[in-house]
Chain A
């Protein structure tokens, strides 16, 4: 059984309108690379120009935030679920 990667609503238009996809991968980083290789338009919304996951993109493996695990090196196994959960941020520039 491959791993399942859940796509948030805001990114589904860039992933063939799918709510989830399945990949074979051994780490979170590998799964995300598979995702953005298959759906290249997703990359700019998930990563900064220097290749880091954007600060407002939260990645969970089976409901555990990867920041508290091994980040992109977090190992995953068949049957695991990776969720991409947005944070929302903004605000005006001080004049």
Chain B
């Protein structure tokens, strides 16, 4: 697994926090579209998605295959790549859980925002280790260019 950093513009940071607050107490989720440059990965657009876990939305999220394909098409239409996913942890730290690890795909950046009592708190990003044994923290840095939300 290549170590790197995730560049996030203020607009995208604000967008993820806003989505987390809006969907509280349920988990919010969506795709992150951008450019993968190897060591640096730049997020450009958020693609919010419906949380398909209607049975347990307070502590689970799910993006089905149709929504995955829609996110891929959205990326392609913009000349971007599907580089990661964001979701929130209502009233829980922005640390990946065992469930997150069991269900993660390699390569993607997984951004988590903690939302406490409806207020967005810390935000972190992670990548799954190649052997699936753990997540590796991915530093988030401020992007130079302005980014837009969908």
Choose, from A21-29, A31-39, A71-79, A81-89, the stretch at the interface.
Answer: A81-89
**When A87-B64, A90-B87 are in contact, do A10 and B97 touch as well, CB less than 8 Å?**
no
Q: Cβ of A95: which chain B residues have Cβ within 8 Å of it? A: 92
Neighbour of B68 across the interface among A14, A65, A87, CB < 8 A: A87
The answer to whether A10 and B65 have CB atoms under 8 Å apart is no
Assess the A85–B53 pair: CB atoms within 8 A: no
Report the Cα distance A44→B92, complex, angstroms: 29
Q: How far is the CA of A10 from the CA of B1 in the complex (A)?
A: 11
Cβ–Cβ contact B65 & A90, under 8 A: no
Which A5-25 residues sit within 8 Å CB-CB of chain B? Answer: 8-14
Q: Are B87 and A91 in contact (CB under 8 A)?
A: yes
Q: A85-B68, A89-B103 are known contacts. Are A94 and B59 too (CB-CB below 8 A)?
A: yes
Q: State A13–B108 Cα separation when bound (angstroms).
A: 12
- Given the known A-B contacts A10-B106, A90-B99, A91-B97, are A44 and B131 also in contact in the complex, defined by CB atoms under 8 Å? yes
Is the CB–CB distance between A9 and B82 below 8 Å? yes
Tell me the minimal C-beta distance from A82 to chain B in angstroms: 14
**Quick check: A86 and B59 within 8 Å, CB to CB?**
no
- Report A-chain residues with C-beta under 8 Å of the C-beta of B124: none
B107 touches A87 (CB 8 A): no
| Closest CB in chain B relative to A9 CB, distance in Å | 7
The answer, yes or no, to whether A52 is at the interface (CB within 8 Å) is no
Contacts of B61 in A (CB 8 A): 88-91
Bound-state CA distance A88–B56 (Å) is 15
The interface residues of chain B lying within 8 Å CB-to-CB of A70 are none
- The reply to whether A85 and B89 contact each other, CB–CB distance below 8 Å, is no
Shortest distance from the beta carbon of B106 to any chain A beta carbon, whole Å: 6
Q: Name the one of A9, A41, A55, A89 contacting B60, with C-beta atoms under 8 angstroms.
A: A89
Q: Does B34 contact A (CB under 8 A)?
A: no
Can you report 14 A-B residue pairs in the complex whose CB atoms are below 8 A from each other?
A: A9-B107, A10-B106, A41-B130, A45-B105, A85-B68, A87-B65, A88-B85, A90-B60, A90-B96, A91-B27, A91-B56, A92-B59, A92-B89, A93-B99
Shortest Cβ-Cβ A-B pairs, 10 listed? A91-B60, A88-B63, A90-B100, A92-B92, A89-B103, A10-B105, A10-B107, A92-B89, A58-B65, A85-B65
